[in-house]
Amino acid sequence: MNELLKKTAAEQSKALKNKEISAVELTQAAFERIDELDEKLGTFNSLTKETALNTAKKVDEKIANGEELPLLAGIPLALKDNMNLVGSKTTASSKILENFVSPFNATITQKLLDNLVPIVGKANLDEFAMGSSNENSAFRKVRNPWNLNKVPGGSSGGSAASVAACEATLALGSDTGGSIRLPASFCGIVGMKPTYGRVSRYGLIAFASSLDQIGPFTRSVEDAANLLEVISGHDPKDSTSLNLPVEHYAAGLANDIKGKKVGVIKELISEGLTEDVSKAMEKAIETYKNLGCEIVEISLPRLKYSIGIYYILATAECSSNLARFDGVKYGYRTPDAKNLMEMYTKTRAEGFGPEVKRRIMLGTYALSSGYYDAYYKKAQQMRALVTEDFKKAFEQVDILISPTCPNTAFELGAKASDPLAMYLTDIATISANLAGIPGISIPAGFDRDGMPIGLQILAPQLQETKLFNMSYQFEQAHDYWKQLPNI
């Protein structure tokens, strides 16, 4: 493997500017790495070689002419396969969209292209981003680069695995209930979910529109701050997009954090953690103490309801969002239907996988006449109370910390037959989506089998700069983030 692929985006940018390597060579090296590993890992659904190499050529021209490079220009990036890129297949890892070719660019894709970031391919995911293990893809399962018999986490498993395995230096995922932070934790990298509305959702295939948010996967906190800066900003095409200036998130990374108050979420460290995760958590608390922070125990009394709230709201929104996949306008259509009704039912029965069907049925039930008030409306009211708990907590502390997940990556197939056990994997991550606050998972050690453990850090809405600062200081106190899997 080209040694430069192991470096962070910041180091690769430096090498490009110093002409130690060209952007085309770096992109080619990424494709060679993908060719070498993809059979084993299952990270990509499709590659976009032409687009990536054309972008890289533009970067080299700019360097040759002595022009200023945009942020992250020339750094290979993997795009989760539920984001549109003109002329590429966008499948959401579903049979129903197996041959769908994007007619337009998502806003974030356009921003990446404007910043001359080579997009190397479309990363595998749980079908329509529904899952915590990346075993629900219609095409193939993704494997964890640290242990090929284990899951990478979901739903953005392909994006996370591609960065951990150095197939791409950067990746984008979408996070509806932990789909960026969980795979980041399982794969030993940095994964960040921004404040709801910080990044445009235009051109992202919707799962649950009031929860979905696009965010970065990287191998360092600095790279995550820079990638968020590239993709953030107001977008008139997305009515939920916040009209606020984009901050230079990396500017405050080195700020001293002495005297800052770190809240430990009582409900997420008291029970259900494996011994190794519990120990890593104790070490994380110690690290913040050594950095001069004050540790405060914080209770979020209504956090325990978040899984129930989430699986009503997310499934209800998925039920209405996925109604558009009916075999009429685009996507798969059953070849043998006698009438319209049969065409709808057969297309959806053949096109959707079991987990997607399960969620559509749950959501349709929650929205149906007579049940709407009992389920959907009640869940919305409870969501407001969970958000209120966070507001109160942030009046007392600067950030909140918890394990990203109560356990490390599990064996492929271990929870496949038990949806409830699978859903509980997201116990620590879901509440941040319900409250619309930013969260990050950063490497915080390894368990006895050498599998990565993630620390989750949460901050108040729009406090991404503080979040990155507190994460960076922790990251620099250890070398966990520098470890790479031996595949």
- List strand residue ranges (DSSP E) for 70-159, in order: 77-80, 119-123
User: Catalytic residue at 377?
Assistant: no
Report the Cα 28 to chain-centroid distance in Å. 25
- CA dist list (Å): 91 to 44, 171, 332, 442: 11, 17, 11, 29
d(CA 477, CA 479): 7
453 three-state secondary structure: strand
CB-based contacts of 434, cutoff 8 Å, min separation 6: 211, 306, 309, 310, 313, 383, 386, 387
Could you say which of 80, 141, 260, 466 is catalytic? 80
d(CA 301, CA 154): 27
Q: Return the bridge partners of 329, or none.
A: none
Strands 439-446 and 452-458: antiparallel
- What number of residues does the chain have? 487
User: Catalytic residue at 155?
Assistant: yes
Could you say which of 155, 156, 232, 306 is catalytic? 155
Could you say which of 93, 159, 179, 441 is catalytic? 179
Picking from 137, 234, 150, the residue whose alpha carbon sits closest to that of residue 409 is 150
Side chain identity, residue 390: F
- List strand residue ranges (DSSP E) for 393-465, in order: 399-403, 439-446, 452-458
d(CA 41, CA 57): 28
213 three-state secondary structure: strand
CB-based contacts of 108, cutoff 8 Å, min separation 6: 83, 172, 199, 200, 203, 204, 214, 231
User: Catalytic residue at 346?
Assistant: no
Active site residues: 80, 155, 179
